[in-house]
Amino acid sequence: MNYWLVKSEPDVYGWTHFIEQGKAVWDGVRNYQARNNLKAMQLGDQVLFYHSVTNIGVVGLAKVSKEAYPDPTSPDDLRWVVVELEPVMALDKLVPLSQIKAEPLLENLSLIRQSRLSVMPVRADEFELILKMGQISNG
C-alpha cells in the first residue's frame, strides 16, 4: 500500500465534482516527475485530494481504481499517462496548507518542499497524521 497526494484547482475540478461523478480520470498531467508518480500508483493505493489556489488544503480521501494507462487526451504523444481515482470519504474538516506548514512532523512533505509538483508520494506516517488532522481517526 502506497500513499499519494494529488492537487486540483477546485474551480477547475474540485472535490464536489469528484463526488458527483463518483470517479475521475486523472488526465492532463504534463510533468515528468508527476507522470512517474502516476505510473507508480497501484490499485487500491490511498490518495489525499488537495485543493490548490482557492480553499487551499486537503479535503478528502480517494483511492486508485485503475492503474496508469496512456492519456487519451494526448493520443499522439505517448509520454503521458492517466490513472483513475474514486472517492473514499471527505475529511470531517479541511486540513489547510497553513496548518500543514505549521506542523513540524510534516516539514518534509513534498507539498512543502516542491510546491509546484501536482502528484506526489506521501509517507504512511504523514498520511495518517493528515487524516487525523482532518478528524478521520481510522483511515
Q: Where does this chain bind DNA (CB under 7 A)?
A: 7, 9, 30-33, 52-53, 56, 97-98, 101, 114-118
Q: Which backbone phi and psi does 19 adopt, to 5 degrees?
A: -65, -45
Q: Compute the least distance from the CB of residue 31 to DNA, in Å.
A: 6
List phi, psi (to 5°) of 53.
70, -60
CB of 12 to DNA, least distance (A): 9
Q: CB 3 → DNA: shortest distance, Å? A: 18
- Side chain identity, residue 100: I
127 near 120, Cβ under 8 Å? no
Minimum CB distance to DNA smaller for 29 or for 68: 29
C-beta of 32 vs 43, nearer to DNA: 32
Q: β-strands 57-70, 81-96: how paired? A: antiparallel
